[in-house]
Amino acid sequence: MALGKKILWSGLGWAMGGPIGAILGYAFASLSDQPKRRTSYGRTTLSRTSTKDFMASLLILLASVMKADEKLLRSELEYVKRFLLNQFNKDDVNNYILIYKEILKQDYSLHQVCMQIQRSMDHPSRLELIHLLFGLSSADGETHFKEIDVIQIIARYLNVSDRDFASIKAMFVKDTKSSYQILGINSSTTNDEVKKAFRKMAKKYHPDKVIHLGKELQESAEEKFVAVNKAYKDIKRERGMK
């Protein structure tokens, strides 16, 4: 493996253990002249998620969603590349893309991968993963139902509630109830309950919740926060609330 790739991935913590470590290890070996090495499936937990652990997990989950409709579209690969370019320099992005293409060739247990993430990643970071997966699914202008099914499976494996899943889904799959779904409520909710729900969701999706993932990913998280604010404004306008 090129020196750049070794440096790029050398800061990984818990992600290099368990099934994620095995997937990455196989990908590294595929890009290296060295023989493939087995990776320990030992259980490791951390109270905080590093940016590299987050990115390693994201690449594997993105690959699962990208393969869900049995179509590997260029628009989806371009979404992954654009996302990476917003986080890293061009050389690092090229390395990530090489690893990602190797991950796409693999078959692996999504349940085992998600269990490792669920044990080791905090809740705000897991919500950000779901948000980014929906971003990929809508990259071609259409969110395929098979992709939504896979994202919902991932969300449940990651211990993300159905209400939180529906909230994030509504930011991408729009209908007449989207604003209410984003706030985790229904259209029969009282005005006072709307205000309460807005405060709760604004706190849950505040970008400071993922500050430990780095400035660039924090800016990505702001999309959810903006969507919550827009949903609240739309409901207030619809109801004539002050």
- Residues 18, 42 contacting (CB under 8 angstroms): yes
Residue 174: pLDDT band (50, 70, 90) is confident
- pLDDT for position 43: 44
Nearest to residue 204, comparing CAs of 154, 155, 168? 168
pTM of the model: 0.83
- Going from N- to C-terminal start, the domains of the chain cover 1-160, 162-242
Rounded (10°) CA dihedral 75, 76, 82, 88 = -150
pLDDT in tens, 130-143: 999 998 888 777 77
- The CATH number, out of the four listed (3.30.410, 1.10.287, 1.10.10, 1.10.3210), of the domain defined by the range 162-242: 1.10.287
Residue 169: pLDDT band (50, 70, 90) is very high
| Non-local CB neighbours of 192 within 8 Å, separated by 6+ positions | none
- Identify the residue with better confidence: 219 or 2: 219
